Amino acid sequence: MKYYILFGPPGAGKGTQAKKMVEKFHLKHISTGDLLRNEIANKTELGLKAKALIEAGNLVPDEVVVGMIKNVFANNNDVAGFILDGFPRTIDQAKMLDKILEGMHSGVTKVISLKIKDGLIGERIKKRAEIEGRKDDADEKIIKNRIDTYHRQTEPLINYYKKSGNYHEIEGERSIDEVFEAISREMQ
């Protein structure tokens, strides 16, 4: 079983690229953001708890997302592997993921990191807001908080994964197809 992490700031193109990776490599896409938005839409207890945090651009507690990831792993034995999109987002989440995978005698296959500048993040997110209608995409202050949260809590993961030797950076400020070609090369 392969476990790919698609890493990068909000608006880097992770969701778009993950969908293309699923088609080409027969993997299961896990987006913790999508799973959380689904919980909110279904008005579950978890969704109600997560809503305010997400809409303010803050992270939900580590245990919540790790629980969701465990569920998806447990219920999908018939795939070639997984693409984790938007997870892990903290060092603690990364450590918990390592433990889960160790427990299955496995580990992270590769971290594919999409690099884009802060200036472009805001631009891309505002464009997406018009298409997807996400509340956390529509407000300048919330976008700024998400970018700050990324730098503070998520970016330190780059060093964490660099140490493991399976971290690969890809220039994300190119066309969708060019980025996908670079990702595909990394996955061969």
Q: What string marks each residue from 76 to 115 as x (binds ligand AMP by CB under 6 A) or -?
A: ----------xxxx---x----------------------
Rg of the chain (C-alpha set) = 16
CB of 188 to ligand AMP, least distance (A): 26
Q: What string marks each residue from 156 to 185 as x (binds ligand AMP by CB under 6 A) or -?
A: ------------------------------
CB of 152 to ligand AMP, least distance (A): 13
Using alpha carbons, list the distances in angstroms from residue 132 to 4, 46, 48, 136.
25, 22, 21, 11
- Name which of residues 41 to 70 contact ligand AMP (CB under 6 A): 53-54, 57-60, 65
CB of 133 to ligand AMP, least distance (A): 13
- Name which of residues 126 to 145 contact ligand AMP (CB under 6 A): 136
Spatial distance between the Cα atoms of 28 and 81, rounded to a whole number of angstroms: 6
Q: What string marks each residue from 7 to 26 as x (binds ligand AMP by CB under 6 A) or -?
A: ---x----------------
CB of 150 to ligand AMP, least distance (A): 9
Instruction: Supply φ then ψ for residue 5, to 5 degrees.
Output: -105, 125
User: How many residues line the site for ligand AMP (CB under 6 A)?
Assistant: 18
Spatial distance between the Cα atoms of 95 and 73, rounded to a whole number of angstroms: 16
Query: Please, what is the Cα angle at 170 between 169 and 172, to 5 degrees?
Result: 135
**Nearest residue to the partner ligand AMP, using Cβ:** 33
Spatial distance between the Cα atoms of 53 and 153, rounded to a whole number of angstroms: 15
**DSSP state, residue 154:** I
Spatial distance between the Cα atoms of 16 and 12, rounded to a whole number of angstroms: 9
Using CB under 6 A as the criterion, which residues of the chain lie in contact with ligand AMP when the complex forms? Answer: 10, 32-33, 36, 53-54, 57-60, 65, 86-89, 93, 136, 146
